[in-house]
Amino acid sequence: MLGQVERILRSDTFQNAEALRRLLKYLAEKSVSGEAYQLKEYTIGLDAFGKPPTYDPRNDSIVRLQAGRLRQKLAEYYRAEGKEDRLIVELPKGHFKLSCEPRQAPADLSSESAVEGSSPAVAKRKRAFEIVCAALIFSLGWAAYSTAQLWTERRKAASALRPGWTADLEQLWRPLVSTNRPLIVAIEDPLFVELKGTDTYYRDKTLNRWEDVLRSGRVAAVRKAFKNVEIEPRYYYTDLGEVNVSFLIGRLLTLGQQNITLARSSLIYWQQMADNNVLFVGAPWFFDEQLAGMPIEPEMIQDRGGIHIRHPKAGAPADLIDQLPTGVAEDGEVYTLVTQTSGPLGTTDIESITSNRTPGRVAAVQWFTDPAFAQMLVARLRKPSGEIPRYYQLVLRVKFKDGVPTDTSYVLHHELQLKEQTARAK
């Protein structure tokens, strides 16, 4: 097994999948040593992914996610580079023990001819046999083609008749759901500081990275008030609005895209964005690290004050400023930025829906999942060709009262280009 695994690890298929390479090598070693049957998610998280001892598989699904990606990657390898390999390595579902079986060779039909010789009668039977085989192959091919066509037509018909799914919704969601790649819906998971042994959690909205927490004077003051107890990062909670957003997206997409995973933003890594389509929903600072360095330069940048437009049209403002609540009441006006861009390798699609207040994100998702609002969006985005841009940024203005969106309107959008396309244009 180890020799075949080394062959797979050296392949082009696994060249840019470092996390999957580590997992495959680790599982292969454990399978050969006989320890795979005893493996648990917790052990794999610590040994293969370098998780801390506080790692909790109930709150961090990285092992399950990567195991699923590994199964897909192995299948991809054997469809291309490994189609002639004599050994087949697989990771059966529900197990962490790799299987390694010899490839089944096709039946050898030449032995009968060698025994019977090449008499005229044998040649006649051989020709008849070849004719029958050819007819059978043609019939099987035609049956496969007809089945594929029937399946395609039925899928189209199902899509056309599917409740709540329209041509406009299909245009908006096509980049994320029209491929065989899995879709990860990632919602924000704010960083809380646990004061160990006190049943107390502390949250500062300006602190979203653990290194910032460790440098924070406010956190130090809180620790001092609790006699300098130890602190730990925790990602247990999210906003009710994000739950609403997840429900709206799930209700629409699970009808047509079966391979959907809900994940927390802190668990999304570069490799996952290279292997999967990803939809981010939350405040912009939860995703800025993941979205930095994508092969498309954004035209609009969102920060805690609103949206900055890098190249505004003549006479148009360069900044769209949020009107955030200042009192107890959650009344205000925010701009929501929707960005449809490319994954890090240009083979996946990444979409983000961000705003500085939850009502802005809820309203945007409502527009992207409701047929009537989707029709309005597509009408704004549509180019003379009838299609909407492949990559774009879109701004919506959302007014809200008591945290509930009351009025949403289109502001502007900008088509984006891959950096290499932009360079050629210059």
In a domain, 363, yes or no: yes
Residues 350 and 417 in one domain: yes
Residues 213 and 307 in one domain: no
In a domain, 118, yes or no: no
In a domain, 286, yes or no: yes
Residues 300 and 223 in one domain: no
**CA distances for 142 relative to 131, 134, 146, 149, angstroms:** 16, 12, 6, 10
Whether pLDDT at 129 is above 70:
no
- pLDDT-derived band at 255 (thresholds 50, 70, 90) equals low
Whether pLDDT at 187 is above 60:
yes
In a domain, 124, yes or no: no
In a domain, 166, yes or no: no
- pLDDT-derived band at 147 (thresholds 50, 70, 90) equals very low
Report the pLDDT value the prediction gives residue 146, as an integer from 0 to 100. Answer: 47
Helix (H, G, I), strand (E, B) or coil at 299: coil
Among residues 203, 234, 265, the one where a domain terminates is 234
Average pLDDT over every residue of 68-85: 90
Judged by average pLDDT, the poorest of 19-33, 174-188, 215-229, 341-355 is: 174-188
Whether pLDDT at 425 is above 70:
no
Average pLDDT over every residue of 142-163: 45
Residues 385 and 407 in one domain: yes
Task: Copy the structure tokens of residue 243.
Answer: 């739950």
**Residue 241 · residue 359 · CB < 8 Å:** yes
Helix, strand, coil percent values for the chain (each to nearest 5): 45, 20, 35
Q: What is the pLDDT of residues 155-180, one digit of tens each?
A: 444 444 355 578 899 899 988 887 77
Average pLDDT over every residue of 67-86: 90
Report the pLDDT value the prediction gives residue 118, as an integer from 0 to 100. Answer: 44
Q: What is the pLDDT of residues 18-41, one digit of tens each?
A: 889 999 998 988 888 777 777 888
Residues 305 and 183 in one domain: yes
Report the pLDDT value the prediction gives residue 96, as an integer from 0 to 100. Answer: 87
Residues 272 and 310 in one domain: yes
Residues 203 and 178 in one domain: no
Residues 314 and 220 in one domain: no
Average pLDDT over every residue of 359-377: 93
Q: Which helix (H) or strand (E) element contains residue 20?
A: helix 18-33
Report the pLDDT value the prediction gives residue 416, as an integer from 0 to 100. Answer: 93
pTM > 0.85: yes or no: no
Residues 418 and 296 in one domain: yes
Average pLDDT over every residue of 186-195: 87
In a domain, 152, yes or no: no
Q: Which residue has the higher pLDDT, 160 or 362?
A: 362
Q: What is the pLDDT of residues 276-306, one digit of tens each?
A: 999 999 998 888 877 887 889 899 999 999 9
In a domain, 156, yes or no: no
Number of domains in the chain: 3
Domain holding 31, by residue range, is 2-102
Residues 216 and 92 in one domain: no
In a domain, 290, yes or no: yes
- pLDDT-derived band at 333 (thresholds 50, 70, 90) equals very high
What are phi and psi for residue 239, nearest 5 degrees? -75, 150
Residues 65 and 182 in one domain: no
Average pLDDT over every residue of 54-63: 83
Among residues 102, 118, 140, the one where a domain terminates is 102
Residues 341 and 228 in one domain: no
Report the pLDDT value the prediction gives residue 130, as an integer from 0 to 100. Answer: 58
**Rounded to whole angstroms, how far apart are CA atoms 184 and 117?**
61
C-beta atoms surrounding 66 within 10 Å: 25
Place of tokens 């500062």: 204
**Rounded to whole angstroms, how far apart are CA atoms 228 and 222?**
8
Q: What is the pLDDT of residues 378-417, one digit of tens each?
A: 999 999 888 999 999 999 999 999 889 999 999 999 999 8
Among residues 200, 234, 268, the one where a domain terminates is 234
* Among candidate residues 72, 295, 67, the one with its CA nearest the CA of residue 180: 72
